[in-house]
Structure 1
Amino acid sequence: MSSQRLGNTSKAFECTDDGNDSSEGEDYDGIRDISSTNTPRSISSSISGAPPIRSRSTSLALTLALPEPIPIPTTSSDISDAFSPLISPTTLTNLHGLDLNSPLAGSSPGRSRTSEEGLDYGVGISPINRSRTLPRQYSTSSRRSTVGPKKTSAAGASESAEPAPLDAEKRLALSRWIVTFAVVNFDLDLGPVVERLYPEVLMTSGVRENIAFSAFPDASLFETGVQCHSFRIRDTVSEQSRTSATSSPSSGASSISDGFLYGYALFLQKRDASSKRGYLQRSVVILSHLAYPSLFTAAVSKLGAFYFSHGVTMLETACYNIASWPDPTRGTALALGFLGDVMDVEIPRHENEHQSVATSSFGEKFNMKVHMLASLPTSLPSPISLFASFLPKVWALWECLVLSEPLLIFAPSPSQTSAIIWWLRDFLRPIPLAGDFRPYFHIHDQDYANLVNKNPPKPGLILGVTNPFFTNLCKHWPHVLSVGREEDAAKTQTGPQSTPYMGPAPGFHSKHQRFISKDRNLLKKLEEALHKGGAAEMEACNLLRQHFTDRTTMLLVPLNRHFASLIPTDPNAPLKPFTPTSFLASLKVHGSMLPFRSSSKQKEFYVKWLRTPAFGVWLTERVEEVQEAFKLKLKTQAQTQTQKLGKV
């Protein structure tokens, strides 16, 4: 995927600013109070008398709609209660008892695994236990020169010591997994701003602004005072800041960037009497070049709990933990020590691999409470609960997905759009990803004008949005998926009645006519499992994932069969060309394993798929595989011939 920035293709939507990036700490040009204009009112402006967040694109958008603040006490035990839906019981236990002013050598050891149990700790890495990943005692005397005035974290924790800069070795080790941590705060005059990057990286003001707005929700629905979501932005971070010396590809490490940065954010809000707004909002973000949502969502949940309780020194501890992890080697199961806990995660062999519970390599029966498959989102909310309003149409949704149709995803919260889009990404495997996808997209994104305009949306583009103003901006999009308010949101909301969801009606809105029959038996099982919930729902989700993986694999069978007929026996000979005519002739003879509704539908479907960018990516990958195999064969033949001549 190209890492070059997209150029503007439309001037249909103009912003009030002059287009120049603003440096941190300076006002943006063109900012004005959107509440005084004729644009839609800010949802947040009616809550607790809070002033609206100022927006750069005032002629386009609703302002960030922040929910009624939920009181979160600032003691360690009470803060851990607020995070209890997001982090493990072990982390909660450590959070209750954590004291940065005392050594932690005596903390209770955690679960430790050896490589004999199927988990790899890396060369020279001793078995992990929780106590080894908790912070050591900090000596303020050794850092007196780096400590400024005493600060207070978002949750009231003292930040009396600034984290020390990482040395080059630690930064290099860290860059195998992440780029940096970001802390985003809400400034009453500027809006969301990145107030800290640790470790420091070279980053333009435009990228910082993009990260800041991506880290904050612009929706008013929350289950609790914290929420996790993810986002994807173009990676314009300097090559000197981003890893360029990770493990070589030959080692199997996942070091290849796709040209995007993935952000995994935890947002917290709490009342703050000292703020003019009446409450404070802050996010902690992990920025990485790796698309591992389950791993990094779990990590940012743990980090957020400690950061909001104990302050900025937890960022340094987290960096040292991650720097000690083994390489993110593809196809391995790793035990990763992090902030007093151990995360068991399986790394996929490649980005298009379907990671399965049944075939996971943990060396024991898969336990969703302990084990993670890195390429998947977190197990909750489940895909069938997210798709509950249109389960019978999920087969039409899958067809749109594999045919690289653009999809617009509406949801009340970024956490929901993130989960939906990561599940859709999973349903596409093993077909390679050929389009752009954004788990959470907003009007301040640097690619906004290029992706949202009056032109037809780009093939394969999937946008997750929460701002109802996109309803009009994207009314020409052919396929819109909308989910309503989470069923339990009203039950857990402790503040005043939250603002009603103003997006499209829940459902899959599309004129797409299916080519392939749905599996009615599976549909019945999904509906029954959704009604039962619990373990039955999780089992049904695995069935749904496997079902679409099987269908995607069957889709590729005729293509693989025809491609195999084009490979010459002589490695020096060129491949025969792949033409639609020859493929369709082969398809007519051999058919497809997919249950097409008719033979004409079968032909129509494959003709359409051959025109998608996904076909081009698939064909390129197959050609490269054959060329690599031929190179290896020729090299082996040359070595054999040399050995024979040596014997003579």
Structure 2
Amino acid sequence: MAGTKEEPLFHREKSPDDGPQSPTMLPWDRFSNWLYCACVVTFDLELGQAMELIYPSHVKLTDAEKANICYLSFPDSNSGCMGDTQFNFRIRQSPGRKPGNKSFISINKELPVSIQGDNAHYCGFVYFRQTKDKSIRRGYFQKSVVLISRFPFVALFSELISILAPEYFDNGEPSLEAACHDIDQWPAPCSGETVNLPIFGTVLQVRIPSRSDKVLLGQVTNKSPVVPMIPAHVILPSLCEVDIFSGFQSILPHIQMMWELVLTGEPLVAMAASPSVTSSTVQALISLISPLKYCSDYRPYFTIHDSEFKEYTTKTQAPPSVILGVTNPFFAKTLQHWPHIIRIGEMMTQTPKGFNKLKKASSLKTLDSKPGVYTRYKPFLNKDKAILKRLIKGIQTKRPVEAQNAILRRYFLEITQSFIIPLERYMASLMPLQRNISPHKSPPVLRPFDIEEFLKTVEHSGPQLTSGIKGDWQGLYQRFFRSSNFEGWYKFRQHEVNQKLQVLHLEAICEANLLDWIQDKQEVEIVDLILRIREKLTFATNNNLVVNMENVNKLQKHLQGIISSLPEDLQSVLKS
């Protein structure tokens, strides 16, 4: 099999037509900025789903990773997915794997937090084909092309696999090799830039979001200039955005409750007839709280063969904080003890009867149960009936899905921002005053987050200042504080604020007259200052995007001046 060779599939000399390339850049370096590998999974009569090819061939997957990819690359047999089916999944990386390369780490930290990749999981993007074929003993041709990446770029990679896979099915291995060759020429994802990504004569154009983007009512500011149009262009409106309206159309009255459940990290199961529906639903769920990052585990498509099956379905402990997308009827019984189950139905052209009713979780017996939300959960916030009326009117007047989706996305962005603003305001109050930052002392630290102190601020300066939705906002915050979403948000903001304090401290050192200050100081104090400046230079190197280069030069001059003022024997020690 091609996937078992040790050498890369192709090597080539650098052409004069190539873009700028680092002298140390090796084949596949640019490919790995986007994808980890591409796989082909086939059905073997003796083995079942089996890995047929892995590109590039030097990429290593553990046996557990291969098994998970194989099982998740085919719809469950009960799904009856004839023709072509697209969906996505997410798996754990095997323990002991090294973090992504320096390029991945650098790219990742400049992306908005909600779409960053992580070093613990791979995302898989599947294009499955099933057709009748009398020449095959089983009577069917069944095969999947899969793209594996550390990045959750759902919109981009779904579009990419829809172009790449049909070419493979028509032309075989050479087309997959050609596709990998194209991707290996792509520029690195550069936050804030619009990039052109050629694949098989088509060019995908997409803007890479940046952490510095200002998101306001669904519009992104700080956009980079649009790259000139070229033939065969496909312009993607987003790197990761998914259609949330289609995913929730059959449970529209409960979408606000879905937002609460995701925000507070509640265990959720999304059941549907096909992996296309479950994966799009799970992706829609985690995007509801954007720009907050969903920090618990999520599996857009989950099967009974998954290596975490026992961990997630055990009845000996409470269900974990995870969102699962399942299609196998077996799960209707296995996960009946879960507190929140969503049954997703087909797209609607009119509002069905009984549309507003919640169902008890215990009433879900089979996967054939009616679409709806099976839960005993009581929302903290009052239902916003205006948004529901607007969307139902849109269904009745056949408003385009794109418009319905935009309405819904803007609504959830507004409610999430209303929830975040008081948290950000309180976080700012924990910052030490700038006048307390001294070049001659260690930088001050952020005061700890006091939940009780924060909750006292909600009554007068809570979300009600920016949102018309009434209800128990305090209760919602208390539940949020027990979730990994709060833990993730706080850890990230704590890092950002401490980084800001380090920058302010660095600037204070730069502006101080240190040569005057050391005149009456003991050598031990001066050495301590030198070590502090060196720490700041290390910080500047590791955080070059937030530190002004002019300040780095000032620090180096300070360092040289101070060392030069010391006795020669001490100078030689400090310079060594």
- TM-score, normalised with respect to structure 1: 0.66
| Structure 1 residues 549 and 258: CA distance shift in structure 2, 3 A | farther
Amino acid paired to 2:410? Q
Please state how far the C-alpha of 1:371 moved relative to its aligned partner. Answer: 2.2
Q: Please identify, of 633-642 and 323-332, the stretch whose mean Cα deviation from structure 2 is larger.
A: 633-642
2 CA distance for matches of 1:248 and 1:190? Answer: 37
Deviations 1:166-204 (A, max 9, x none): x98122221111011100000112110111101122222
Amino acid paired to 2:500? A
- Tell me the residue number matched to 2:482: 611
Deviations 1:504-540 (A, max 9, x none): 32111122222223332221121122234463x3112
Q: Does 1:182 align with 2:39?
A: yes
1 CA distance for matches of 2:217 and 2:237? Answer: 10
Amino acid paired to 2:423? L
3-state SS of paired residue (2:381): coil
Amino acid paired to 1:518? K
For residue 556 of structure 1, the aligned residue among 420, 428, 434 is 420
Please state how far the C-alpha of 1:460 moved relative to its aligned partner. Answer: 3.5
Please state how far the C-alpha of 1:222 moved relative to its aligned partner. Answer: 6.3
2 CA distance for matches of 1:606 and 1:549? Answer: 17
Q: Does 1:210 align with 2:68?
A: yes
3-state SS of paired residue (1:330): coil
Amino acid paired to 2:120? G
| Structure 1 residues 344 and 395: CA distance shift in structure 2, 3 A | same
For residue 194 of structure 1, the aligned residue among 33, 51, 54 is 51
- Tell me the residue number matched to 2:297: 436
| Structure 1 residues 349 and 287: CA distance shift in structure 2, 3 A | same
Deviations 1:226-282 (A, max 9, x none): 010000001228857x85242662896668634101100000012222221111100
For residue 409 of structure 2, the aligned residue among 545, 559, 562 is 545
- Tell me the residue number matched to 2:524: none
Please state how far the C-alpha of 1:407 moved relative to its aligned partner. Answer: 0.7
Amino acid paired to 2:235? V
3-state SS of paired residue (2:477): helix
Q: Does 1:591 align with 2:462?
A: yes
Amino acid paired to 1:225? G
- Tell me the residue number matched to 2:519: none
For residue 308 of structure 1, the aligned residue among 156, 159, 169 is 169
Unmatched runs of 5 consecutive residues or more in structure 1: 1-23, 26-121, 126-166, 489-500
2 CA distance for matches of 1:508 and 1:548? Answer: 19
For residue 394 of structure 2, the aligned residue among 506, 529, 542 is 529
Please state how far the C-alpha of 1:462 moved relative to its aligned partner. Answer: 0.3
1 CA distance for matches of 2:64 and 2:448? Answer: 45
Amino acid paired to 2:450? T
Q: Does 1:373 align with 2:241?
A: no
2 CA distance for matches of 1:324 and 1:436? Answer: 33
Deviations 1:375-421 (A, max 9, x none): 123xxxx4323322221111111111111111100011101111111
Deviations 1:135-169 (A, max 9, x none): xxxxxxxxxxxxxxxxxxxxxxxxxxxxxxxx981
- Tell me the residue number matched to 1:576: 447
Q: Does 1:414 align with 2:295?
A: no
Amino acid paired to 1:207? E
Q: Does 1:272 align with 2:133?
A: yes
Amino acid paired to 1:470? F
- Tell me the residue number matched to 1:520: 385
How many residues are matched?
A: 468
For residue 249 of structure 1, the aligned residue among 91, 99, 106 is 106
- Tell me the residue number matched to 2:91: 233
Is the Cα contact below 8 Å between 1:172 and 1:245 reproduced in 2? no
Amino acid paired to 2:475? E
- Tell me the residue number matched to 1:18: none
Q: Please identify, of 354-363 and 462-471, the stretch whose mean Cα deviation from structure 2 is larger.
A: 354-363
- TM-score, normalised with respect to structure 2: 0.74
Is the Cα contact below 8 Å between 2:131 and 2:141 reproduced in 1? yes
Is the Cα contact below 8 Å between 1:459 and 1:613 reproduced in 2? no
2 CA distance for matches of 1:409 and 1:251? Answer: 29
Is the Cα contact below 8 Å between 1:406 and 1:479 reproduced in 2? yes
Deviations 1:4-46 (A, max 9, x none): xxxxxxxxxxxxxxxxxxxx99xxxxxxxxxxxxxxxxxxxxx
2 CA distance for matches of 1:383 and 1:177? Answer: 25
For residue 629 of structure 1, the aligned residue among 474, 484, 500 is 500
Question: Once superposed, what is the RMSD of the aligned Cα atoms?
Answer: 3.3
2 CA distance for matches of 1:369 and 1:538? Answer: 17
Is the Cα contact below 8 Å between 1:294 and 1:373 reproduced in 2? yes
2 CA distance for matches of 1:353 and 1:220? Answer: 45
| Structure 1 residues 588 and 252: CA distance shift in structure 2, 3 A | closer
2 CA distance for matches of 1:431 and 1:564? Answer: 18
2 CA distance for matches of 1:406 and 1:502? Answer: 18
1 CA distance for matches of 2:213 and 2:152? Answer: 11
Is the Cα contact below 8 Å between 1:354 and 1:429 reproduced in 2? no
Aligned-residue identity in percent: 28
| Structure 1 residues 213 and 248: CA distance shift in structure 2, 3 A | closer
Q: Does 1:402 align with 2:267?
A: no
3-state SS of paired residue (1:374): coil
| Structure 1 residues 263 and 216: CA distance shift in structure 2, 3 A | same
For residue 481 of structure 1, the aligned residue among 307, 326, 342 is 342
2 CA distance for matches of 1:268 and 1:515? Answer: 44
Is the Cα contact below 8 Å between 1:354 and 1:426 reproduced in 2? no
| Structure 1 residues 383 and 432: CA distance shift in structure 2, 3 A | closer
Please state how far the C-alpha of 1:452 moved relative to its aligned partner. Answer: 1.8
3-state SS of paired residue (2:129): strand
Unmatched runs of 5 consecutive residues or more in structure 2: 5-17, 350-365, 438-442, 517-556, 562-576
Please state how far the C-alpha of 1:205 moved relative to its aligned partner. Answer: 2.0
| Structure 1 residues 635 and 252: CA distance shift in structure 2, 3 A | same
2 CA distance for matches of 1:508 and 1:630? Answer: 46
The structure that has the greater radius of gyration is 2
The higher relative CO (CA closer than 8 Å, separation ≥ 6) is in 1
Deviations 1:60-88 (A, max 9, x none): xxxxxxxxxxxxxxxxxxxxxxxxxxxxx
Amino acid paired to 2:463? S
Amino acid paired to 2:156? L
Please state how far the C-alpha of 1:324 moved relative to its aligned partner. Answer: 0.9
Please state how far the C-alpha of 1:607 moved relative to its aligned partner. Answer: 1.8
3-state SS of paired residue (1:171): coil
Is the Cα contact below 8 Å between 1:392 and 1:523 reproduced in 2? yes
1 CA distance for matches of 2:444 and 2:226? Answer: 47
| Structure 1 residues 517 and 251: CA distance shift in structure 2, 3 A | closer
Amino acid paired to 1:584? L
2 CA distance for matches of 1:345 and 1:256? Answer: 18
2 CA distance for matches of 1:303 and 1:414? Answer: 20
